[in-house]
Structure 1
Amino acid sequence: MKMYLFSAALLGLTVMSCSAQDLKKSDVPEQVQTACAKKFPESGHAKISWEKEKGNYEANWGGRSGEDNSAQFTPSGVFIEIVKAIPVNQLPAGVAQYVQANEHGAKIKEAGLVTDAKGVVTYEAEIKGKDLIFDQTGKFIKVD
Structure 2
Amino acid sequence: MKIIILAMLFTTGFSTMAFPQQKKENLKVPAAVEKSFQKNHPNLKAKWEKEADKYEAGFKQNGTKTSELYTLTGALEETEVEIQIHQLPSPVSKYIAQQKLGNIKEAAKITKADGSVLYEAEVKSGDALFDAKGNFIKIQKD
* Fold shared by both chains (TM-score > 0.5): yes
TM range (shorter): 0.7 to 0.9
**1:1-144 equivalent positions in 2, closer than 5 A:** 22-24=24-26, 27-38=28-39, 40-41=40-41, 44-62=42-60, 68-102=65-99, 104-128=100-124, 130-144=126-140
What amino acid is aligned across from residue 97 of structure 2 in structure 1?
Q
Identity level (%) = 36
Between structure 1 and structure 2, the one with the greater Rg is 2
What amino acid is aligned across from residue 73 of structure 2 in structure 1?
S
Structure 1 residue 105 displacement after superposition: 4.9
Structure 1 residue 142 displacement after superposition: 1.7
What's the Cα RMSD here? 2.4
Matched residue count: 120
Unaligned runs of 5+ in 2: 1-15
- Tell me: CA distance 1:129–1:24, structure 2 relative to 1, closer, same or farther (3 Å): farther
Unaligned runs of 5+ in 1: 1-12
> So what's the TM-score if we normalise by structure 1?
0.73
* 3-state SS of 1:22 partner: helix
What amino acid is aligned across from residue 35 of structure 2 in structure 1?
T
Runs of 4+ in structure 1 deviating by more than 4 angstroms, as ranges, are: none
- Tell me: CA distance 1:54–1:67, structure 2 relative to 1, closer, same or farther (3 Å): farther
* 3-state SS of 1:106 partner: coil
The separation in 2 between residues aligned to 1:47 and 1:67, in whole angstroms, is 14
Structure 1 residue 55 displacement after superposition: 1.8
